[in-house]
Structure 1
Protein backbone atom coordinates (compact mmCIF):
# COMPACT_ATOMS: atom_id res chain seq x y z
CA UNK A 1 0.00 0.00 0.00
CA UNK A 2 2.74 2.44 1.00
CA UNK A 3 4.77 1.49 -2.08
CA UNK A 4 1.82 2.14 -4.38
CA UNK A 5 1.15 5.46 -2.68
CA UNK A 6 4.82 6.47 -2.98
CA UNK A 7 4.93 5.44 -6.64
CA UNK A 8 1.76 7.39 -7.36
CA UNK A 9 3.16 10.47 -5.63
CA UNK A 10 6.38 10.33 -7.66
CA UNK A 11 4.48 9.87 -10.91
CA UNK A 12 2.20 12.79 -10.03
CA UNK A 13 5.10 15.18 -9.48
CA UNK A 14 6.54 14.52 -12.92
CA UNK A 15 9.38 12.26 -11.79
CA UNK A 16 10.43 9.74 -14.41
CA UNK A 17 13.47 7.55 -14.82
CA UNK A 18 15.98 8.82 -17.34
CA UNK A 19 15.17 7.43 -20.76
CA UNK A 20 17.61 6.45 -23.48
CA UNK A 21 18.69 9.58 -25.37
CA UNK A 22 17.12 10.40 -28.71
CA UNK A 23 19.16 12.28 -31.27
CA UNK A 24 18.25 14.72 -34.05
CA UNK A 25 20.80 12.99 -36.29
CA UNK A 26 21.26 9.41 -37.46
CA UNK A 27 24.95 9.47 -38.37
CA UNK A 28 27.98 11.02 -36.69
CA UNK A 29 31.64 11.27 -37.65
CA UNK A 30 34.31 11.28 -34.95
CA UNK A 31 37.27 13.58 -35.58
CA UNK A 32 40.26 14.66 -33.53
CA UNK A 33 41.43 12.36 -30.72
CA UNK A 34 39.45 9.35 -31.92
CA UNK A 35 41.60 6.87 -29.99
CA UNK A 36 40.85 8.41 -26.60
CA UNK A 37 39.05 6.36 -23.92
CA UNK A 38 35.87 8.45 -24.16
CA UNK A 39 35.91 8.20 -27.97
CA UNK A 40 36.10 4.41 -27.69
CA UNK A 41 33.20 4.45 -25.23
CA UNK A 42 31.18 6.66 -27.59
CA UNK A 43 31.90 4.18 -30.39
CA UNK A 44 30.04 1.61 -28.26
CA UNK A 45 27.28 3.85 -26.87
CA UNK A 46 26.17 5.73 -29.99
CA UNK A 47 25.37 2.67 -32.15
CA UNK A 48 23.44 1.21 -29.21
CA UNK A 49 21.35 4.41 -29.27
CA UNK A 50 20.70 4.09 -33.01
CA UNK A 51 23.38 6.46 -34.35
CA UNK A 52 25.68 5.22 -37.11
CA UNK A 53 29.28 6.22 -36.37
CA UNK A 54 31.54 7.04 -39.33
CA UNK A 55 35.21 6.99 -38.35
CA UNK A 56 38.04 8.82 -40.10
CA UNK A 57 39.41 5.46 -41.27
CA UNK A 58 36.19 4.79 -43.19
CA UNK A 59 35.77 8.29 -44.61
CA UNK A 60 39.01 10.27 -44.09
CA UNK A 61 37.93 13.48 -45.84
CA UNK A 62 34.27 12.96 -46.65
CA UNK A 63 32.36 14.92 -44.01
CA UNK A 64 29.16 14.51 -46.03
CA UNK A 65 29.18 10.81 -45.10
CA UNK A 66 27.78 11.85 -41.70
CA UNK A 67 25.14 14.38 -40.69
CA UNK A 68 27.25 15.78 -37.84
CA UNK A 69 30.93 15.85 -36.90
CA UNK A 70 32.01 15.47 -33.27
CA UNK A 71 35.53 16.86 -32.89
CA UNK A 72 37.34 15.69 -29.76
CA UNK A 73 39.93 18.30 -28.84
CA UNK A 74 41.19 16.94 -25.53
CA UNK A 75 40.76 13.87 -23.37
CA UNK A 76 43.15 14.23 -20.43
CA UNK A 77 43.65 12.60 -17.07
CA UNK A 78 45.47 14.64 -14.45
CA UNK A 79 46.82 13.72 -11.03
CA UNK A 80 47.61 16.61 -8.69
CA UNK A 81 49.06 16.43 -5.18
CA UNK A 82 46.89 18.53 -2.86
CA UNK A 83 48.12 17.39 0.55
CA UNK A 84 51.48 16.40 1.99
CA UNK A 85 52.81 15.39 5.37
CA UNK A 86 55.52 17.42 7.08
CA UNK A 87 58.16 15.02 5.75
CA UNK A 88 56.99 15.54 2.15
CA UNK A 89 55.05 12.31 1.72
CA UNK A 90 51.91 12.58 -0.38
CA UNK A 91 48.74 12.40 1.70
CA UNK A 92 45.95 13.42 -0.69
CA UNK A 93 45.52 13.53 -4.46
CA UNK A 94 43.06 15.28 -6.73
CA UNK A 95 42.17 13.36 -9.87
CA UNK A 96 40.91 15.43 -12.79
CA UNK A 97 39.32 14.28 -16.02
CA UNK A 98 39.17 16.96 -18.70
CA UNK A 99 37.27 16.44 -21.98
CA UNK A 100 36.81 19.12 -24.67
CA UNK A 101 34.69 18.74 -27.78
CA UNK A 102 32.68 20.56 -30.46
CA UNK A 103 29.78 19.47 -32.67
CA UNK A 104 29.14 20.75 -36.20
CA UNK A 105 26.80 19.71 -38.96
CA UNK A 106 28.13 18.48 -42.33
CA UNK A 107 28.03 22.03 -43.72
CA UNK A 108 30.28 23.28 -40.90
CA UNK A 109 27.62 25.12 -38.88
CA UNK A 110 28.39 24.86 -35.16
CA UNK A 111 25.68 22.97 -33.27
CA UNK A 112 27.49 22.81 -29.92
CA UNK A 113 30.18 25.40 -29.25
CA UNK A 114 33.52 24.15 -27.99
CA UNK A 115 32.72 22.81 -24.54
CA UNK A 116 34.74 21.34 -21.70
CA UNK A 117 33.67 18.78 -19.15
CA UNK A 118 35.88 18.81 -16.07
CA UNK A 119 35.42 16.26 -13.30
CA UNK A 120 37.42 16.30 -10.07
CA UNK A 121 37.70 13.68 -7.35
CA UNK A 122 39.80 13.70 -4.18
CA UNK A 123 41.36 10.49 -2.90
CA UNK A 124 43.65 9.82 0.03
CA UNK A 125 47.06 8.30 -0.56
CA UNK A 126 49.24 6.09 1.58
CA UNK A 127 52.73 4.96 0.71
CA UNK A 128 52.18 1.79 2.73
CA UNK A 129 49.26 0.76 0.49
CA UNK A 130 50.55 1.86 -2.90
CA UNK A 131 49.06 -1.07 -4.84
CA UNK A 132 45.61 -0.62 -3.34
CA UNK A 133 45.67 3.15 -3.87
CA UNK A 134 46.85 2.70 -7.46
CA UNK A 135 43.92 0.34 -8.07
CA UNK A 136 41.57 2.88 -6.44
CA UNK A 137 42.96 5.63 -8.68
CA UNK A 138 42.46 3.46 -11.78
CA UNK A 139 38.87 2.61 -10.77
CA UNK A 140 38.12 6.27 -10.02
CA UNK A 141 39.40 7.35 -13.44
CA UNK A 142 37.26 4.64 -15.08
CA UNK A 143 34.17 5.90 -13.20
CA UNK A 144 34.97 9.46 -14.26
CA UNK A 145 35.36 8.31 -17.87
CA UNK A 146 31.90 6.72 -17.70
CA UNK A 147 30.45 9.94 -16.25
CA UNK A 148 32.04 12.01 -19.04
CA UNK A 149 30.69 9.62 -21.69
CA UNK A 150 27.16 9.91 -20.31
CA UNK A 151 27.42 13.72 -20.12
CA UNK A 152 28.57 13.87 -23.75
CA UNK A 153 25.65 11.62 -24.76
CA UNK A 154 23.19 13.94 -22.98
CA UNK A 155 24.74 17.04 -24.59
CA UNK A 156 24.54 15.43 -28.02
CA UNK A 157 20.89 14.58 -27.34
CA UNK A 158 20.23 18.24 -26.45
CA UNK A 159 20.75 19.20 -30.11
CA UNK A 160 17.24 19.46 -31.52
CA UNK A 161 17.92 20.46 -35.14
CA UNK A 162 20.84 19.96 -37.48
Structure 2
Protein backbone atom coordinates (compact mmCIF):
# COMPACT_ATOMS: atom_id res chain seq x y z
CA UNK A 1 0.00 0.00 0.00
CA UNK A 2 1.46 3.25 -1.20
CA UNK A 3 0.57 6.34 0.76
CA UNK A 4 1.69 9.67 -0.54
CA UNK A 5 1.39 12.78 1.58
CA UNK A 6 1.16 16.08 -0.26
CA UNK A 7 2.01 19.25 1.63
CA UNK A 8 0.02 22.32 0.73
CA UNK A 9 2.40 24.93 -0.81
CA UNK A 10 0.19 27.83 0.36
CA UNK A 11 1.58 28.11 3.94
CA UNK A 12 5.12 28.02 2.56
CA UNK A 13 4.29 30.93 0.22
CA UNK A 14 2.86 32.96 3.08
CA UNK A 15 6.00 32.44 5.14
CA UNK A 16 8.22 33.41 2.21
CA UNK A 17 6.08 36.49 1.49
CA UNK A 18 6.31 37.52 5.16
CA UNK A 19 10.09 37.12 5.13
CA UNK A 20 10.38 39.17 1.94
CA UNK A 21 8.24 41.96 3.44
CA UNK A 22 10.34 41.97 6.60
CA UNK A 23 13.58 42.17 4.63
CA UNK A 24 12.21 45.02 2.51
CA UNK A 25 11.22 46.94 5.65
CA UNK A 26 14.69 46.43 7.12
CA UNK A 27 16.27 47.59 3.89
CA UNK A 28 14.21 50.79 3.86
CA UNK A 29 14.94 51.50 7.51
CA UNK A 30 18.65 51.00 6.93
CA UNK A 31 18.84 53.44 4.03
CA UNK A 32 17.43 56.34 6.07
CA UNK A 33 13.99 56.32 4.50
CA UNK A 34 11.32 57.85 6.73
CA UNK A 35 7.89 59.26 6.11
CA UNK A 36 7.72 63.03 6.05
CA UNK A 37 6.80 64.46 9.43
CA UNK A 38 5.00 67.67 10.30
CA UNK A 39 7.43 70.59 10.12
CA UNK A 40 8.78 72.19 13.27
CA UNK A 41 9.36 75.92 13.36
CA UNK A 42 11.79 78.11 15.32
CA UNK A 43 8.95 80.54 16.08
CA UNK A 44 5.41 80.38 17.47
CA UNK A 45 3.87 83.55 16.01
CA UNK A 46 4.03 84.83 12.45
CA UNK A 47 2.54 87.92 10.84
CA UNK A 48 1.38 87.69 7.22
CA UNK A 49 1.48 90.95 5.32
CA UNK A 50 1.48 92.15 1.74
CA UNK A 51 -0.84 90.33 -0.65
CA UNK A 52 -2.45 88.32 2.15
CA UNK A 53 -5.86 88.04 0.48
CA UNK A 54 -4.73 85.84 -2.40
CA UNK A 55 -5.59 82.15 -2.67
CA UNK A 56 -2.03 81.01 -1.93
CA UNK A 57 -1.76 83.30 1.10
CA UNK A 58 -5.08 82.03 2.48
CA UNK A 59 -4.04 78.39 2.06
CA UNK A 60 -0.64 79.18 3.61
CA UNK A 61 -2.34 80.81 6.61
CA UNK A 62 -4.52 77.72 7.10
CA UNK A 63 -1.49 75.39 6.81
CA UNK A 64 0.49 77.43 9.34
CA UNK A 65 -2.42 77.38 11.79
CA UNK A 66 -2.82 73.63 11.26
CA UNK A 67 0.85 73.24 12.25
CA UNK A 68 0.25 75.02 15.56
CA UNK A 69 1.44 78.53 14.76
CA UNK A 70 -0.39 81.69 15.73
CA UNK A 71 -0.92 83.62 12.48
CA UNK A 72 -1.57 87.35 12.60
CA UNK A 73 -2.91 89.37 9.69
CA UNK A 74 -4.19 92.90 9.24
CA UNK A 75 -7.68 91.54 9.92
CA UNK A 76 -6.76 90.10 13.34
CA UNK A 77 -6.77 92.22 16.45
CA UNK A 78 -3.42 93.51 17.63
CA UNK A 79 -1.93 91.06 20.14
CA UNK A 80 -0.23 92.10 23.35
CA UNK A 81 3.13 91.01 21.92
CA UNK A 82 4.31 91.45 18.33
CA UNK A 83 4.82 88.45 16.08
CA UNK A 84 8.26 86.85 16.21
CA UNK A 85 8.60 86.84 12.41
CA UNK A 86 7.01 88.75 9.55
CA UNK A 87 6.21 86.90 6.34
CA UNK A 88 5.70 89.32 3.45
CA UNK A 89 3.93 88.18 0.29
CA UNK A 90 5.52 90.38 -2.38
CA UNK A 91 3.91 88.84 -5.48
CA UNK A 92 1.26 86.21 -6.02
CA UNK A 93 0.11 86.03 -9.60
CA UNK A 94 -1.22 83.59 -12.13
CA UNK A 95 -0.22 83.72 -15.77
CA UNK A 96 -1.58 82.02 -18.86
CA UNK A 97 0.47 82.00 -22.06
CA UNK A 98 -0.14 80.51 -25.49
CA UNK A 99 2.75 78.22 -26.43
CA UNK A 100 1.31 76.37 -29.42
CA UNK A 101 -1.03 77.19 -32.30
CA UNK A 102 -2.44 75.33 -35.26
CA UNK A 103 -1.68 76.39 -38.84
CA UNK A 104 -4.99 78.27 -38.80
CA UNK A 105 -3.89 80.28 -35.76
CA UNK A 106 -6.08 78.51 -33.21
CA UNK A 107 -4.70 77.90 -29.75
CA UNK A 108 -3.47 74.33 -29.33
CA UNK A 109 -1.42 74.46 -26.13
CA UNK A 110 -1.27 76.75 -23.11
CA UNK A 111 1.23 77.16 -20.32
CA UNK A 112 -0.09 78.00 -16.87
CA UNK A 113 2.26 79.70 -14.43
CA UNK A 114 1.99 80.60 -10.79
CA UNK A 115 4.56 83.06 -9.48
CA UNK A 116 4.94 83.56 -5.73
CA UNK A 117 7.53 85.91 -4.25
CA UNK A 118 8.02 86.23 -0.48
CA UNK A 119 10.50 87.14 2.24
CA UNK A 120 10.80 86.43 5.96
CA UNK A 121 12.17 88.78 8.60
CA UNK A 122 12.18 88.97 12.35
CA UNK A 123 10.24 91.68 14.17
CA UNK A 124 13.55 93.57 14.45
CA UNK A 125 13.98 93.52 10.61
CA UNK A 126 16.69 90.83 10.57
CA UNK A 127 16.41 88.97 7.25
CA UNK A 128 15.85 85.24 7.71
CA UNK A 129 14.87 84.41 4.11
CA UNK A 130 15.76 86.84 1.35
CA UNK A 131 13.21 87.66 -1.30
CA UNK A 132 12.52 84.29 -2.90
CA UNK A 133 10.59 83.56 -6.08
CA UNK A 134 8.77 80.27 -6.61
CA UNK A 135 7.64 79.72 -10.19
CA UNK A 136 5.61 76.70 -11.17
CA UNK A 137 4.58 75.91 -14.74
CA UNK A 138 2.14 73.40 -16.17
CA UNK A 139 1.36 72.72 -19.82
CA UNK A 140 -2.18 72.05 -20.94
CA UNK A 141 -3.57 71.17 -24.35
CA UNK A 142 -6.52 73.21 -25.57
CA UNK A 143 -9.41 72.56 -27.92
CA UNK A 144 -12.28 74.91 -28.54
CA UNK A 145 -14.73 72.01 -28.65
CA UNK A 146 -14.09 71.23 -24.96
CA UNK A 147 -13.84 74.70 -23.44
CA UNK A 148 -15.76 73.90 -20.25
CA UNK A 149 -13.74 70.79 -19.45
CA UNK A 150 -10.49 72.63 -20.19
CA UNK A 151 -11.56 75.44 -17.83
CA UNK A 152 -12.13 72.86 -15.09
CA UNK A 153 -8.76 71.24 -15.84
CA UNK A 154 -7.08 74.66 -15.71
CA UNK A 155 -8.67 75.42 -12.33
CA UNK A 156 -7.54 72.02 -11.04
CA UNK A 157 -3.96 72.64 -12.22
CA UNK A 158 -3.90 76.07 -10.54
CA UNK A 159 -5.13 74.50 -7.25
CA UNK A 160 -2.42 71.84 -7.56
CA UNK A 161 0.27 74.47 -8.11
CA UNK A 162 -1.10 76.46 -5.19
CA UNK A 163 -0.76 73.45 -2.90
CA UNK A 164 2.78 72.79 -4.17
CA UNK A 165 3.80 76.38 -3.40
CA UNK A 166 2.36 76.19 0.11
CA UNK A 167 4.31 72.98 0.80
CA UNK A 168 7.54 74.53 -0.55
CA UNK A 169 7.05 77.62 1.63
CA UNK A 170 6.39 75.47 4.72
CA UNK A 171 9.62 73.53 4.10
CA UNK A 172 11.57 76.78 3.72
CA UNK A 173 10.05 78.19 6.93
CA UNK A 174 10.89 74.97 8.79
CA UNK A 175 14.49 75.25 7.56
CA UNK A 176 14.91 78.44 9.62
CA UNK A 177 16.53 77.10 12.78
CA UNK A 178 17.14 80.26 14.81
CA UNK A 179 15.89 83.80 14.98
Q: What's the TM-score bracket when you normalise by the shorter of the two chains?
A: over 0.9
Runs of 4+ that moved beyond 4 A: none
Q: Encode CA deviations 1:130-153: one digit per residue, 9 max, x unaligned.
A: 111111000000000000000001
Uncovered stretches (5+) of structure 1, i.e. residues with no partner: none
TM-score scaled by structure 2? Answer: 0.86
Are 2:135 and 1:135 aligned?
no
Give the counterpart of 1:116 among 133, 148, 159. Answer: 133
SS at match of 1:65: coil
2: CA distance, partners of 1:30 / 1:81: 34
2: CA distance, partners of 1:54 / 1:118: 26
Are 2:91 and 1:78 aligned?
no
Are 2:21 and 1:3 aligned?
yes
Task: Please name the residue that 1:146 is paired with.
Answer: 163
Give the counterpart of 2:58 among 23, 32, 40. Answer: 40
SS at match of 2:36: coil
2: CA distance, partners of 1:124 / 1:52: 42
Give the counterpart of 1:102 among 108, 119, 128. Answer: 119
SS at match of 2:33: coil
In our comparison, the structure showing a higher alpha carbon Rg is 2
Task: Please name the residue that 1:14 is paired with.
Answer: 32
Uncovered stretches (5+) of structure 2, i.e. residues with no partner: 1-18
Root mean square deviation, CA, Å: 1.4
2: CA distance, partners of 1:140 / 1:42: 17
TM-score scaled by structure 1? Answer: 0.95
Q: How many residues are treated as equivalent by the alignment? A: 161
Task: Please name the residue that 2:43 is paired with.
Answer: 25
Higher RCO (Cα < 8 Å, 6 or more apart): 1
Task: Please name the residue that 1:66 is paired with.
Answer: 83
Asked if structure 2 preserves the Cα contact closer than 8 Å seen for 1:103 and 1:112, the reply is: yes
